[in-house]
A and B are shown apart, each in its own frame.
Chain A
Amino acid sequence: MNRPIGPRPKRGPHLVLMACYALFILASGSRAIVQIATQFHVAPFAYVLSAVAAVTYVVGWFAIRRAAHGRPRLAEVMLWVELAGVVIIGTLSVVRKDWFPDASVWSYYGGGYGWVPAVLPIAALLWLHRTHDKQDTEERAA
């Protein structure tokens, strides 16, 4: 059965999540562009990973927007992908320091950004979980 998709009011915690994602698109995207354009030879692996993080945040932003309008599938996948990226890259940056002559956005679990990159997908997944529960309850009541 198709879930009803309608223009929902533009309100809720997802506004804050989307603002955070927009900031990280700006931060990681501009960081990756500058580093790849000016000093790519210094740490190519780390800089490409920063670009991957920026792309992930772009998709994450759209995924949260879609989820807020009742289409959570993309967010269910992307937020776990993002969290896995933070955990894997964070762990690699700790155990294989020689792979990271310079930091990427997700190095040390996002320590260069106050660990917000690690907290962000978890907060978004919690929001998604709560929103889903609420929608399911409303649908059962209807």
Chain B
Amino acid sequence: MHGTLAPIAWIVVGYGAIVAIAAGVGVVLRAPRPRWLDQMAWMLELICVVLGLGALGSLLQGHRPPSMETHIGYLAALVCIMPVAILSMREERESWSSGVVAVAAVATVVVAVRLMVTR
């Protein structure tokens, strides 16, 4: 991943943490999953896609990370985790479904950090 993409990765980390906290609060309060949490999660996904496309462009320009397989695995996970989580919970709006969003957001944060480490 090119150095210029690091700020976007940090935005993913920071915003992902906010999504995880918001979803976690929803679980603690036992509140049905609000629509705005879905919108926050999709916004996180949008930033992940931007980061993923940037990283892919960097690879196509010739940048070679130490472990290509690991790097591509992290890229795929970065863009896939949140949509799978939200779509699997699309008909379920009870409070524990916010927990699934929280888990997906934490995983996205971890993957974004690992992506920066393995760039």
Contact = CB atoms under 8 A, between A and B. Distances in A.
B99 A19 contact: yes
Contact of A11 (B77, B84, B92): B92
Contacts of B27: 16
Interface string A33-49: 01001100000000000
A15 B96 CA distance: 7
Contact of A19 (B73, B85, B91, B94): B85
Nearest to A20: B103
B-side interface mostly: helix
Contacts of A26: 77
Of A12, A16, A20, A38, most B-chain CB atoms within 10 Å: A16
B97 A15 contact: yes
Contact of A13 (B69, B89, B99): B99
B100 interface: yes
Interface residues of B, number: 20
A123 to B, nearest CB: 12
Contacts of A12: 96
B44 to A, nearest CB: 16
A38 B72 CA distance: 14
Interface string A5-17: 0000011110110
A22 B87 CA distance: 14
Contacts of B84: 22
B85 A30 contact: no
A15 B69 contact: no
A30 B69 CA distance: 10
Nearest to A37: B69
Contacts of A37: 69
A119 interface: no
Contacts of B94: 11
Contact of B99 (A16, A34, A38): A16
A16 B103 CA distance: 7
A23 B85 CA distance: 10
Interface of A: 10-13, 15-16, 19-20, 22-23, 26, 30, 34, 37-38
Interface of B: 27, 69-70, 73, 77, 81, 84-85, 89, 91-92, 94, 96-97, 99-100, 102-104, 107
